[in-house]
Copies of this chain bind each other. A is one copy, B any other.
Amino acid sequence: MMKEIYKGDPVHLFIEEVTLPNGKTIPLEIVRHPGASAVVPLLGDGRVVLIHQFRHAAGGYIYEIPAGKLSKGEAPEACAIREVEEEVGYHVGHLEKLTAIFTVPGFCDEVIHLYLGTDLSPCPQNLDEDEIIEIVTLPFEEVMDKITDQTIRDAKSIVGLQLAYAEAKKAGII
């Protein structure tokens, strides 16, 4: 049994009757989400392209990697490339999958597909009118310091940056 509570954008809320592995059946609130992609865009000189974005839920501007929801029927890779173009104005020539994370498995089924994006070439930026974004381009080491000193606090961004850093080191890019 599944009851729709609210249908908005991005929040689509249900109460679902769930039978647990212990045999007990309980109602659970769940926000159904289309999924998303996020990319660590890495320039040839070893700098990372971050965004500094206004987020009401976070109480102001926070640092993030470019990311966005999957459009209907869109593949995660296509979404990843589209979001980097729209949000920071780079076309990604090479995309490498890092992982796919659950952001809030307690009440939402969102999965974010994370990528390292390299072979970047400039293209026009194309923001939605409600996206308030500044582009911040920094050396990778400096970005990693901003995780440790708690300047970067967005979960998907930290996971993506940590994995991309290890990958880029291994590949000799940085």
Contact = CB atoms under 8 A, between A and B. Distances in A.
A171 interface: no
A13 B12 CA distance: 11
Interface in A1-35: 5-6, 8-11, 13, 15-16, 18, 20-22, 24, 26, 28-31
A56 interface: yes
B102 A57 contact: yes
One complex includes copies of this chain to the number of: 2
A57 B106 contact: yes
Main secondary structure of the interface of A (DSSP, over half): mixed
A55 interface: yes
Given A13-B13, A101-B155, A158-B159, 9 more contacts: A11-B13, A11-B31, A30-B56, A55-B102, A62-B105, A100-B153, A104-B155, A148-B163, A155-B156
